[in-house]
Each structure stands twice: as C-alpha cells, then as structure tokens.
Structure 1
Amino acid sequence: MPKDTVSDAKKAVLYRMVMEDHLCPYGLKSKDLLEREGYEVEDHHLTSRAETDAFKKEHGVETTPQTFISGERIGGYDALRKHFGQEVRGEDETTYQPVIAIFSVAFLMALGLSWASFGSVFTLRAFEWFIAISMCFLAVQKLKDVEGFSTMFLNYDLLAQRWVRYGYIYPFGEALAGILMVAGALVWISAPVALFIGTIGAVSVFKAVYIDKRELKCACVGGGSNVPLGFVSLTENLMMIFMGLWMPARAFFG
C-alpha cells in the first residue's frame, strides 16, 4: 500500500489515469472533491495502460482512480463521496431529479416568454406555456430512445398493451400537441390529441399504481429512467387533459 509522504491528516494521495488518449473524469472529480474538502493532494498520474494494470494488480483493485488518506485506501470516486458523508445514488435507485429539472426549466421559460411578450410574468399565457413546454420537454426525453420508452410503456399503458405501435406514436403525439399549444395554433388538432393520450395515460397510471398497487418505473422521461410510476406521470397526463379541454374553450369564448 502506498504511504503518504506527509504526516498531515489533511493530505491525500491520489492515483489516476492521465494518458494522451484518455483523461479519467472520475480522477479529476476525486481531485476536485479532495481539494474542496481542504486536502492537499499528492497527485500521481498513471500514464499508460501497462502502468495502470500493474497498479491495479499490486493493490487488488479493479478500477482507478484510487485515493489513500493516512495510508488507508478509501477507493474510487463514489467511495470518496461516501467517506465525506455525501449521498451516492445506486444504479437502480429511484429519483425525481429528471422531472424536477424538466418542470423547473419549463416554468422559467414560460415566465421568460410571458415577460418578453407581455412585460409581465403574471399572465394566463405563462401558465399555458408552462404546460405546453413541459409536454415538449417530456416528449424529447421519450424521443431520445423511442424503443426503450415503448418497452417501459408496455408495462402499464392499457392501449399500448392492446396495440403495441401506440407506444411508438405516443411521444410524437405529445410533441405535436405541445408545439402547437406553445404557438397557440391549430387547436382543433392539439386539443384532441392531448385529450386522447392524456385520458388513456391517466386511466392506465391510476389503475397500475392505485388499484393494482404495482411498483413500476415511469416511462414519462424516456426509456431507462429511474423515476417511479405514480404522481408525476399522473400529473403529466392530467395536465394534457386540462389543456385538451382548456385550449378549445378559451378559443371558443375568446
């Protein structure tokens, strides 16, 4: 085991890959984290594959970077985060971070559009834009991997389970409705599409989560997401139902 060359407890030894064709990002993150925690870092570069393999064999580890503090091996970047009491999320751990990011940015964009268009953020159009932009962002997440989305979608959507191709059509319908609602155009297209997919989605999610009590991952932010199916997906569908009813009513009554 390598020994610290200094005795100060606030010094650490870091071994990380620094090669012409590869600079390990987790090595940089480990160095940054140590420095932010007040450590002076003795930074050792592993400059070749052979040197890296020899280091891993010598210390019985499978990955780099590796950090040592007071002669004790802490481990890689995640282990270092744990050492400092920071949260480390597992690969299968559920999270609401993607939808929080989507709704937060959509909300701020809606306020920005409202300010640019009307000189105020307190407008009805800002609320409409918030929902429409959220629909667009959620559609983009699905369109990044339509195959993955459709596979997850089949776990709970009642129409997709009867007609598999619906899972491939859904994100395009959501994007179309959202874009038209942002523009305030062709309500006779956007409203029925939003109402149709929102109603089926809401019924499907409600049945899967609140009646069948199933624990599933939500396809709302695309395939491979770790967002739990439930309130978020139901909210997405209820927003589409609302817009499907609201937009034609507003157009009709002026």
Structure 2
Amino acid sequence: MEVPAQFARSGDGFTSLPAAEGRWAPGTLSGPAIAGLLAQVLDTEFGEGLVGTRWHCDMFRMVRSGRLDVRTNLVRSGRRIRVAEAEIVQNDKTVVRAAVTFYHRAPQPDGAVWSDPHVPAPPPAGAPRLAMAGGAGEYISSDTPEQWATAERKRVWTRGWRVLDGEETTPFARAAMVSDCTNLVTGMGTGGVETINGDVSMAIARAPRGDEIGLEADQFVIVDGISISSASMFDRDGRFGVCTVTGVATGSAVHGPTSA
C-alpha cells in the first residue's frame, strides 16, 4: 500500500493534503509535514552534488491546512560550504523559517577519535511503518499508541515518508521529516506527549540509506515547563545523525504520532 503524500503542487505554491494534518489543533499541519516540504524544496533547489548536513527549522506560528507558499534564498555558496534558507508564507505572513547547510565531500581523515560504541537496534525486516520500542523491548505499532506511554527510554522506527504527490522524496527530506519525531520519542511518557516543540535541528554525516529511519532518545530535560531533548538518528547501517528540539508544556497531551 502506497503511503499518501503530504502536499501537492498548486501553481507556484503548494496545497496540503489530508496526510499532512497534525494532532495538536484542527485544521493545522504536523511538524514532519512542514519540515519535509521545506527540506524537499531546499535540497532540490540547492543540494545537487552536495551533502545536506545541518538542518534547522523554527515553527513559530501554526501552519494552517490549505494553500501555502515557500520562498527560498541562497545565503552563500563557497568552495566547501553552501547555505540556503526558506520560509513558509500564508496570508502574507511568515509562519515557519528553515535553513540548511550543505558541504562538498572531502577526503576522510586518518586520525582516530572517540565515538560512542552504542548503536541503536532496528527492528526485524517487515516491521510496521511507524513503531516504537521502550527499553530493550520489541517495537510496537502506532495502532496501539497507549502502550507507548511509559517512562522508559524509547526508539521509534519509520519508513515510507512522502512529501509531494507525484515526485520522489529526497533522502534528506525524509530525514528532516523524521527529525521532527524527536519530540515524540523523547517526550512520550506516562502522560503521553505533554510538550510541543517550536523548533527542530538535525545534523547528519550522511543521508539515510533506504527509506527506513529510526530515532533513539538520548536526553530529555524539563524545567518550569520548558523542555530540551535530543535523539540519535540511525538506519540499518548504523547511527548517522543527531536531532534536538526545544519545547514547552501545553497543559494537554497527545498519545501517538502527530503525522500518519
């Protein structure tokens, strides 16, 4: 079964599709959908021949369902680095802003450095499209999200993300979509997910291989209702990235993924 796309092109802009709907408020879009659209546009326009390495997205207003426009800008293109930015505009207001850093590939250094030997464990082949594991337990499908509501360290495993109808999603855009699940995998506790993130950052040393991507919670700290959290990004070939989010308590909770 093909996974539905999040957006369709509409003239020189885009229109959201039902798969992009979020859970925090009716008629608004999910973080993964927003991140995926901006990353897809930036990677397609500026990333040819380069490695998308750093991604940051500030989501300071709710993005409404329906028509939206994306504006892009090339900040710098040099011998080693290229930096570009994009924003989503609705009703003549900027609602989300993102930036990406691309690098040219370089020779691999010979020196030895410390690296955490722990590698998150992916599920067996054929796992559900969106599943979560707590502690050392088995991955559980998103069809039963109430079983995710524990205080254990968690891992989430995903596949099949699609940004635009009729267009191939780039590996970088898939990773950006999954990066917004950092709030889910780090903040899911006995009360569900009780914080909403206003941003997401991702740093990856390579693109994901294949369409399966996982996140494992590393840190979650909350003081006076303000949270910071981080997660490792991995696939079946090992760990390749780190994601961080900041957030704030909402006074309510969701108990499953914010995007289907």
TM-score range, shorter chain: under 0.3
Could you say which structure has the greater relative contact order, defined with CA pairs below 8 angstroms and 6 or more residues apart?
2
TM-score normalised by L of structure 2 = 0.23
Computing the radius of gyration from Cα coordinates, the structure with the larger value is 1
Query: Greater share of strand residues, 1 or 2?
Result: 2
Specify which structure has the higher proportion of helix: 1
